[in-house]
Amino acid sequence: MRDASVLVLQAITYFCALSLPFFYRRRIGLGVFICALGVLHFLETYLAAVFFIQTSLGLITPGSTVLFSGKLAMFLLLYVKEDAETVRQPIYGLLFGNVMVIVLALLLRLYDNVAVLPGYNPDFRFVDQMGLLMIWGTLLLFIDIILLIILYEKLERWIAETIVGRFFISLAIVLTLDQLAFFVGLHLLSGVPFSALFAGLVAKLAMAAIYSMLIGLYLAIAEPETAAPSNLRVSDVFDRLTYRHRYENLLQNVGRDGLTGLSNRSQLDIIGRDMIASAKTRGASLSLMMIDVDRFKEINDTHGHAAGDAALRDVSQIIASQKRDFDMAFRYGGDEFAVLCVGDDQAAVRLAERISNAFASISGFTLSIGVASYPHHAADLSTLLDSADKALYAAKRGGRDQICVA
């Protein structure tokens, strides 16, 4: 009974200590909370490997029962109050640190003259054992977190009003599976007997209930506002924990202008060369129009930069709505836009007129547009850009609100 009371006391101490930096994360930064988890990760693994309590059910270790169960509960709390992207940070940090433990321990063997101290000889076998156990535990933690979040979200449709119940069921299922998997590593690396398997499982289920109630109290008292259900799928959680969605977003947004959503100048250089090569192969014409917002500086100075940004977005939306699917639009820079049009300069002029009229009607401002075409005015992209740019400045010198052809 005394041992059980000590385990409960440890769980309460663990939760209260970690919930303090978690509560103040907006002031002191989330790194304090994450570092605390990282430091306790070593003690958790050490105790799970060597420190056991004999009970009537079998062997129980505070490392797995109290510390790991608590860590999993804190990760779920972190997800509820933040998101899956935040949860992945300490997981990857733990994995990296654990790998470094093994690497640095291997390098220690390269020293020739290691001093022998009475009672303090280095035990590299133990260091290796701990490093492997920590890596195995972190890999399991990665899987545990995915499953934990999925279970928590899916349980929302059945017990949406009972957050403590969702926490307990999610933790109980994941801790059961983790106990089975982590025990394999403990048994193989540390020789932990099978009597620790069942007793550890019972103890973890008890801790799931304790931590769920503690989290329920914390959410009710300290942070009662809980995020709305996100309806995440398994693939969604996996994407956010593995950075894959960041990579996919990067692919989608690379070469895009942040304000207008159009392709940027670098894309004009790439796509323009390809379109000219295609026009040359087909013996077709390709036109380039350069578009400039008249007196754009006055718009910013008189109406503010927000009005200037709105004007640029209006131009981009009008271009996108007026051009054909096989024409390509770009924000060239500042208040200049470029459009590559399949066809001769007369087809480009007709498109330019539609764009200019539509912009004037919705914004009250005007555009100057210069047009040049391949192969009539230029034989390559660089010359085409130069010809269209000269036509643009001819339109501006001629009084603005004009369309000039090279």
- C-alpha distances (whole Å) from 193 to each of 91, 118, 189, 197, 224 are 28, 31, 11, 8, 43
pLDDT at 236 over 60: no
Say yes or no: 33 and 101 in one domain: yes
CB 145 within 8 A of CB 153: no
Terminal alpha carbon distance of the chain: 93
Cα–Cα distance for residue pair 293/400, rounded to 1 Å: 9
Q: Are 42 and 68 in contact (CB under 8 A)?
A: no
Q: Are residues 137 and 267 in the same domain?
A: no
Residue with tokens 């309590």: 53
Contact 86, 31 (CB under 8 A): no
- Beta strands across the sheet bearing 328-333: 328-333, 336-342, 286-293, 367-374, 403-405
Q: Could you say which of 188, 219, 249 is where a domain stops?
A: 249
Q: Does residue 82 have a pLDDT over 60?
A: yes
- Domain of residue 282, CATH code: 3.30.70.270
The tokens of 196 are what?
């620790």
> Strand, coil or helix: what is 226?
coil
Give the rounded percent of residues in the chain with a pLDDT score beyond 90. Answer: 37
Residues 174 and 190 in one domain: yes
pLDDT at 394: 93
pLDDT at position 232? 53
Q: Are 240 and 83 in contact (CB under 8 A)?
A: yes
Q: Helix, strand, coil % (nearest 5) of the chain?
A: 70, 10, 20
Please tell me whether the overall predicted TM-score, pTM, comes out greater than 0.85 for this model: no
74 and 147 belong to one structural domain: yes
Q: 68: closest CA among 221, 179, 232?
A: 179
Cα–chain-centroid distance for residue 244?
8
DSSP letter at 256 equals B
- 100 and 195 belong to one structural domain: yes
Find the angle CA(124)-CA(66)-CA(191) to the nearest 5 degrees: 40
Q: Which residues of 197-236 are buried (b: 16+ CB within 10 A; e: fewer)?
A: bebbbebbbbbbebbbebbbebbeeeeeeeeeeeebeeeb
Considering only CA atoms, which of 44, 72, 60 is closest in space to residue 175? 72
Residue indicated by tokens 């059980």: 4
Residues 130 and 22 in one domain: yes
Over the stretch 109-148, which tens digit does the pLDDT of each residue have?
888 787 877 777 777 777 777 778 888 888 888 888 888 8
pLDDT value of residue 229: 47
pLDDT digits (tens, 9 = 90+) for 197-233: 999 999 999 999 999 999 999 999 998 865 444 555 5
Q: Which of 219, 249, 279 is the last residue of a domain?
A: 249
Cα gap 377→375, rounded to integer Å: 6
The mean predicted confidence, pLDDT, of the chain is: 85
The answer, yes or no, to whether residue 67 has pLDDT greater than 70, is yes
Over range 377-385, report the average pLDDT.
92
pLDDT tens per residue across span 257-316: 878 888 888 888 888 998 999 889 888 999 999 999 998 888 888 888 888 888 899 889
Is 150 in the same domain as 295? Answer: no
Q: How confident is the model at residue 333 (pLDDT cuts 50, 70, 90)?
A: confident
Whether 245 and 317 share a structural domain: no
What's residue 15's pLDDT? 96
**Whether residue 92 sits in one domain with residue 66:** yes
Among 249, 273, 301, the domain-final residue is: 249
Rounded Cα gap, residues 98 and 108, in angstroms: 16
Which residue has better confidence, 92 or 165? 165
Residue 373's pLDDT is what? 94
- Please enumerate, as own/partner, the contacts of 121-130 that have beta carbons within 8 Å and a separation of 24 or more: 127/101, 128/102, 129/49, 129/189, 129/190, 130/42, 130/45, 130/46, 130/49, 130/101
30-50 helix and 124-154 helix, angle to the nearest 10 degrees: 120
Indicate whether 282 and 362 sit together in one domain: yes
pLDDT of residue 340: 94
Cβ-count burial 373-389 (b if 16+ within 10 Å, e if not): bbeebbeebeebbebbb
pLDDT band, residue 187 (cuts 50/70/90): confident
SS3 state of residue 267: helix
Q: Do 282 and 173 share a structural domain? A: no
- The verdict on whether 335 is a catalytic residue reads yes
* Structural domains counted in the chain: 2
Residues 17 and 86 grouped into a single domain:
yes
What pLDDT score does 250 carry? Answer: 46
Range of the domain at 53: 2-110+117-249
Three-state DSSP state, 252? helix
Residues 316-325 have a mean pLDDT of 88
C-alpha closest to that of 161 among 82, 222, 216: 216
Q: Tell me, what's the pLDDT at 92? A: 81
Question: Which position among 239, 335, 345, 389 bears the catalytic label?
Answer: 335
